[in-house]
Amino acid sequence: MRTRVFLLVSIAVAAVVFFAARMVNNDYVFFAGYTILQFIVLATAWNILGGYTGYVNFGSAAFFAMGAYSTVFFHKAFPMPIPILILIGGVVSGVVGFGMGYLTLRLRGAFFAIATLALAVVLQTLVVNWDYVGGSRGAYIIRPNDIAWLGPYIQYLFLLMLTLVVVSLTIARWIERSQLGYGFATIRDDELAAEASGVPTLKLKLVATTISGALMGMAGAPFPYYIGYLQPSSAFGLEYAVNSIAMPMIGGTTSWVGPLIGAILLGSLQQIATVTISSAVNLLIVGLLLVAFVIIAPNGIVGLVQGWMRRREK
C-alpha cells in the first residue's frame, strides 16, 4: 500500500470513528476517547525513537508538557486558534528533542535514557518557578463553549486529536518503509556496524528524536483546553512517561500497528479501571503489564500473533 493510499484509508477510518462517536451522542465518549487518541499519538511518537532506533526516552511527559505549556503561554500572550498552537507546540518540543539528542546521543544509549529522565525533572522545576504560566499553582484555561459548525467544544478537540492520530500513524508507517526507516533499523540492530558501513547514525538519531519530540509536543498542545486547569504535576505526570513506553512495548515495537493496538487496549482498560476501581490501581495495572510483557512477550502482542500464525502455517 502506498503512503497516499494509507493516508486516505486512515482518514476514512477516522471519519467513521468520529461519526460513530457522534451517533452515541454522549459527551463522556468524547472525553474518554480523547484520552485514548492522545495516548495513540504519544505511543506512536515514542515508538519512532524507541522502537525503530532502540533509544529509550523516559521523558515523554516532559515533551508532552512542553507542548501543553507553550499553549498556556500563547493563550496568555497572543491568543491563536488551536491548530496553530499545535504546530507551535510541535516546534518547541521538536527543538528540545533536537537539543537533548545533540548533547547526549553521541554517547552510549543509556546516557540518553537517563538524560531524558532528568530533563523531565528540570523542565518541571523551570515551570514551577515560572509565574507567568501559573507556577506551582497552575493555570486556568477557559474553554470556549461551542463551535458553530460542529457543536460542543470537546468534539472539536476530539476531531483535532483524531487528525493528529492520522498524521502520526502515516508518518510512522512512511518512516518504516523508507530509507530513513532502514537506517533506523540498522542503528537498532548494530550501531557500530551501521556506522562502519557509512550510515550517518548521529544524523538519523537526531531526525528520530526531533520527529518523536515534535509529535509528543503536538499531542500536548490541546491538553490545557481539554483539562481546563493545568498544573505542573498533571502535565509532567509520570503516567504519560510510563504509558508511552508501556503501550508500544505491550503492542509490539517493530511496526506502527503495535503502539496503536497497545494504546487502544491499555487506554480503554485504564478508562474502565479509573471509573470502576481507582486511578492508583489502574497505574499499577500498567506497571505490572509492562514488566510482565517485557519479560514474557518481548515482541508484544504483534509478536505473539505473528508467532502463532507462523506456527499454524507449519
Partner 1 sequence: MRSSAEEGIRRKPGDWGEQVGFSFDLVINALIAGILLGGFYAAVTLGVSISFGILDIVNIAHPAFIILGSYIAYIVNTRLGIDPIVVSVVMLPVFYLLGAGIYQVYYESFEKHGQDALRGLSFFFGLLFVTEVMLILVFGVDYRYVEAPYIGPSWRLGVMDFPLRMLVPCLAALAMFGVLQIILSYTFIGRAISAVAQDQLALRLMGASPTRIKRIAFGISIATTAVAGALLIIIQPVEPSVGREYIGRVFAICVLGGLGSLPGTVIAAMLLGIIESFTATFYGPSWAPAVAFGVLLLTLAFRPAGLLGR
Summarize as ranges the residues that interact with partner 1 (CB under 8 A).
Answer: 50, 54, 56, 58, 103-104, 107, 109-111, 113-115, 117-119, 121-122, 124-126, 128-129, 131, 135-136, 238, 242, 245-246, 249, 253, 280-281, 283-284, 286-288, 290-291, 294-295, 298
Q: Which of 10, 234 has the CB closer to partner 1?
A: 234
Q: Letter for the amino acid at 43?
A: A
Residues 260, 295: Cα–Cα separation, whole Å: 21
Q: Quick one: 152 or 303, whose CB is closer to partner 1?
A: 303
First to last CA, the chain: 27
Name the minimum Å distance from CB 183 to partner 1: 17
| Minimum distance from residue 50 beta carbon to partner 1 (Å) | 7
Q: What's the closest the beta carbon of residue 277 comes to partner 1, in angstroms?
A: 11
Cβ nearer to partner 1, comparing 85 with 119: 119
The amino acid that residue 50 corresponds to is G
Min dist. Cβ of residue 189 to partner 1 (A): 11
Nearest-approach distance from CB 138 to partner 1, in angstroms = 14
Closest to partner 1 by CB, 125 vs 178, is 125
Nearer to partner 1, 3 or 136 (CB): 136
Q: How far is the CB of 110 from partner 1 (least distance, A)?
A: 4
Nearer to partner 1 by C-beta: 15 or 122?
A: 122
